[in-house]
């Protein structure tokens, strides 16, 4: 499952994967035959321990563009806190399934951006009843907010992590899962991925933000590192301030492997809905800073996260322990 992307006559051509499953993708097949729309079954309501709107405090904007993102982040931001990581996963599944139904009804497609790390495990409930049978997976288009420049079957690959932990368990058409071209350099892979996104925007598979002009993904499912980084945008790194490119590369990541590609903040913050999923005590300090509850003068990348329609933070008790 995946899509190797190359520029050829302004199109995204395909390259077969080398995975043992011998799965292949073809961008031109991303419009598959329509499966019947199955309405979502209503599951019990899961009550969060605390659900409140918050405002962010940006005392030290990284740049003018980052500052604009910070101002947006004060709008339509929610925090949902739960006792356990299990409860986070249950709630995240319903949240994602509900948005899938909303966008499939409104625009006939659902564009979802994944990150790596613990986020994939947090999606496990989507591959279980009732969602495995009720979600219209045929309308999903899956992308990555960042990826390590390694082969897709490498242990460090975010694609492999998502394939093993989630994608192989749900029937998303293979032609609608867009992995980076792992045969290219970091620069080449970033340029190639951006070219593919632009092609999909032209075809209206991906919407366009009327506010920013950048692609407007329906939902980004994001995680945060203990240092407050998201995607491959790290504290103090100049890429945090990138405001023109859709996708760029980093060759000196402070977290291995050093070479990665990543969406930029203008693209991330143009998403309709962003979900930041954070669990574990090891990230409590960064959560506190990112949500403006700390006296730290440093501005973390996670503080600059926003969304056009709504940003929701999903936290377990440990991650929220410093709030």
Q: For residue range 290-312, what is the model confidence (pLDDT) as tens digits?
A: 998 777 667 899 999 999 999 99
Regarding beta strands 310-316 and 273-278, do their DSSP bridges make them parallel or antiparallel, or are they unpaired? parallel
Backbone angles phi, psi at 80, to 5 degrees: -120, 125
pLDDT tens figures, 44-53: 333 333 333 3
Instruction: Point out which residues pair with 140 in neighbouring strands.
Output: 110
Domain 14-52+66-316's class?
alpha beta
How would you class 307 by CB atoms within 10 Å of its CB: exposed for 0-12, middle for 13-18, buried for 19 or more? buried
Residue 96 is predicted with a pLDDT of 98
Domain ranges of the chain: 14-52+66-316
Q: What is the pLDDT of residue 75?
A: 58
Mean pLDDT of 3-29: 35
pLDDT digits over 101-119, tens only? 999 999 999 999 999 999 9
% of the chain surpassing 90 pLDDT? 74
Q: What is the CA radius of gyration of the chain?
A: 18
State the average pLDDT over residues 234-244: 96
């Amino acid at each position: 499952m995946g899509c190797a992307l190359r520029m050829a006559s302004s199109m995204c051509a395909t390259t077969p994967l080398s995975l043992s499953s011998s799965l292949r993708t073809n961008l031109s097949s991303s419009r598959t035959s329509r499966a019947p729309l199955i309405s979502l079954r209503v599951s019990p309501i899961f009550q969060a321990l605390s659900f409140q709107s918050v405002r962010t405090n940006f005392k030290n904007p990284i740049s003018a563009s980052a500052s604009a993102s910070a101002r947006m982040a004060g709008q339509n931001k929610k925090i949902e806190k739960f006792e356990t990581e299990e409860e986070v996963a249950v709630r995240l599944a319903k949240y994602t399934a509900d948005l899938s139904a909303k966008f499939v009804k409104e625009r006939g497609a659902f564009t979802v951006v994944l990150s790596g790390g613990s986020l994939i495990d947090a999606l496990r409930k989507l591959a279980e009843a009732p969602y495995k049978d009720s979600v219209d997976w045929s309308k999903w288009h899956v992308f990555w907010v960042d990826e390590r420049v390694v082969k897709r079957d490498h242990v460090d690959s975010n694609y492999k992590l998502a394939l093993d932990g989630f994608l192989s368990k749900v029937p998303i058409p293979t032609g609608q899962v867009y992995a980076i071209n792992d045969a290219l350099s970091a620069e080449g892979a970033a340029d190639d991925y951006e070219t593919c996104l632009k092609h999909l925007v032209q075809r209206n598979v991906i919407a366009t933000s009327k506010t920013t002009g950048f692609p407007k993904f329906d939902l980004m499912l994001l995680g945060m590192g203990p240092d407050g980084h998201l995607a491959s945008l790290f504290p103090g790194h100049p890429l945090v301030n990138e405001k023109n490119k859709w996708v760029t590369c980093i060759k000196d990541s402070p977290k291995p492997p050093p070479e990665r590609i990543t969406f930029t903040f203008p693209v991330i913050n143009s998403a309709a809905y962003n979900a930041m999923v954070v669990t574990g005590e090891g990230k409590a300090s960064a959560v506190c800073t990112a949500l403006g509850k700390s006296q730290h003068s440093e501005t973390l990348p996670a503080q600059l996260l926003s969304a056009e329609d709504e940003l929701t933070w999903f936290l377990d008790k440990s991650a929220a322990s410093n709030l």
